[in-house]
């Protein structure tokens, strides 16, 4: 039977139109990991170009998320432009302070990411914790910036009484941050509510169960769940955790390995802490993931020249790290909606 050429062309046009309207698939973990940790060819040359005029020696030590991985120098131009154009509504940061920061040397590190331009992690010199992390994606004209802090008003940091200093609430520490989207030629737009999943929650039973690991009396609160930002200098991933802390003379008991959320945190004294999910940048938005591959949550190395984990580090002790990258963010294997 001969096929009508017009009908065949029409059918092909419909198929192509449907395919073009589909949302692009989120990159899988192997792609995220390879792009985030690539160290050769074009990725490395672009990183080196952005760090060319900075001092990237091994002695630069600063606050998280950079720690001892920092370069010192003037920030990349796009980050300078972002700082200058940030809205005046951003807490504890006025226009004159932004201008001063933009023109001063800062601590930063360039990281291979998911876009043509590398990502940047910057710890800003301030009287309180203040850092910025850029995230690139498939659209070269769009960049998302995660901004944490400042925690306090710099103008009240000197010459005044600490009790009168204006600061964010203690509950916001390592929880309260803003995502700004910058499209070429347009001012930054606060997209926190649209590109971020909801903050992690605890059931009433969990509040009662975890209280003993935090304080001598009372319950745990959702404000006790904090972001681990230590891998942002390597990959576009953060982690929600709740870690037992010592309050005054109170020494909390060890969290048992049998706890539904427990995993061994090598960098917290090899003790069990509670896991509440990973925040993964997939090129377009942040996604909450129950597990990620080891490559997306690597060991912390000491200094920018080191690639070796500590001798005692064992990634397999963390049961939320998969040995093989099989999951796809937002796909059928994504566990972001799972609950304990």
Rounded Cα–Cα distance for residues 110 and 50 (Å)? 7
Kindly list the distances between the CA atom of residue 243 and the CA atoms of 35, 50, 218, 235, in Å, as whole numbers in the listed order.
30, 36, 16, 22
Residue 7 included in any domain: no
* CB within 8 Å of 332: residues ≥ 6 apart: none
**pTM given for the model:** 0.82
Q: Round the CA-based radius of gyration of the chain to a whole number and report it.
A: 22
Q: Which domain holds residue 293?
A: 25-322
The residues, ordered by sequence, that sit 6+ positions from 146 with a Cβ below 8 Å of its Cβ are 132, 133, 134, 135, 177, 178, 179
Look at residue 2 and tell me if it is in a domain: no
The Cα angle at residue 222 between residues 216 and 227, in degrees rounded to 5: 105
Asked whether 147 and 135 are in contact (CB, 8 A), the reply is: no
Strands 321-322, 292-293: pairing kind? parallel
Q: How far apart are CA 228 and CA 137, in angstroms?
A: 22
d(C-alpha 50, C-alpha 117), whole Å? 10
- Please indicate, yes or no, if residue 245 is contained in any of the structural domains: yes
Element containing residue 180 per DSSP (H, E): strand 177-183
Residue 151 lies in a domain: yes
Q: How far is CA 312 from the centre of its chain?
A: 25
User: Are 245 and 81 a contacting pair, CB within 8 Å?
Assistant: no
Q: Say if 8 falls within a structural domain.
A: no
Q: Per-residue pLDDT for the chain (340 aa), expressed as one digit of tens each?
A: 444 544 444 444 433 443 444 444 455 555 565 655 554 444 566 666 677 678 887 656 778 899 887 889 999 999 999 999 999 999 999 999 999 999 999 999 999 999 999 999 999 999 889 999 999 999 999 999 999 999 998 865 545 555 567 898 888 888 999 999 999 999 999 999 999 999 999 999 999 999 999 999 899 999 999 999 999 999 999 999 999 887 778 899 999 999 999 999 998 888 999 999 999 999 999 999 999 999 999 988 766 556 678 777 888 889 999 986 544 444 334 444 444 4
User: What is the Cα–Cα distance from 218 to 191, expressed in whole angstroms?
Assistant: 35
pLDDT in tens, 137-149: 999 999 999 999 9
The span from the CA of 280 to the CA of 32, in Å, is 9
Reported as half-sphere exposure (CB side, CA atoms, 13 A), residue 64 has a value of 11
CA separation for the pair 188, 179 (Å, rounded): 9
The encoded tokens of residue 97 equal 């302070």
Is 339 among the domain residues? no
The pairing of strands 262-265 and 237-242 is unpaired
Total of domains in the chain: 1
d(CA 36, CA 235): 5
For residue 84, is it within any domain?
A: yes
Does some domain include residue 121?
yes
Which phi and psi (to 5°) does residue 300 adopt? -90, 125
What are the pLDDT digits (tens) for 100-145?
999 999 999 999 999 999 999 999 999 889 999 999 999 999 999 9
């Amino acid at each position: 039977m001969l096929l009508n050429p017009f009908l065949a062309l029409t059918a092909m046009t419909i198929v192509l139109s449907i395919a073009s309207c589909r949302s692009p698939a989120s990159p899988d973990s192997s792609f995220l990991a390879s792009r985030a940790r690539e160290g050769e060819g074009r990725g490395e040359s672009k990183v080196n170009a952005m760090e060319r005029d900075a001092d990237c020696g091994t002695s630069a030590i600063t606050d998280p998320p950079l720690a001892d991985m920092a370069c010192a120098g003037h920030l990349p131009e796009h980050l300078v432009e972002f700082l200058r154009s940030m809205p005046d509504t951003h807490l504890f940061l006025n226009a004159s302070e932004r201008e001063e920061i933009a023109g001063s040397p800062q601590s930063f590190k360039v990281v291979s990411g998911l876009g043509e331009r590398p990502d940047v992690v910057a710890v800003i010199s301030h009287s309180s914790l203040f850092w910025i992390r850029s995230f690139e994606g498939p659209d070269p004209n769009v960049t998302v910036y995660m901004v944490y802090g400042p925690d306090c008003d710099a103008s009240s940091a000197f010459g005044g009484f600490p009790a009168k200093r204006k600061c964010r609430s203690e509950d916001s520490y390592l929880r309260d941050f803003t995502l700004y989207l910058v499209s070429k030629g347009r001012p930054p737009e606060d997209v926190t509510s649209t590109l971020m999943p909801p903050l992690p929650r605890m059931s009433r039973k969990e509040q009662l169960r975890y209280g003993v690991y935090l304080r001598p009396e009372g319950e745990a609160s959702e404000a006790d769940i904090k972001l681990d930002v230590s891998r942002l200098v390597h990959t576009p991933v953060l982690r929600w955790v709740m870690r037992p802390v010592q309050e005054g003379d109170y020494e909390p008991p060890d969290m048992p390995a049998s706890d539904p959320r427990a995993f061994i945190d090598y960098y917290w004294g090899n003790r069990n802490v509670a896991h509440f999910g990973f925040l993964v940048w997939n090129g377009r938005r942040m996604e909450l993931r129950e597990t990620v591959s080891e490559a997306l949550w690597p060991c912390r190395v000491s200094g920018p020249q080191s690639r070796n984990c500590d001798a005692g580090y064992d990634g397999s002790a963390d049961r939320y790290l998969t040995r093989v990258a099989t999951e796809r963010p937002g796909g059928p294997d994504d566990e972001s909606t799972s609950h304990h």
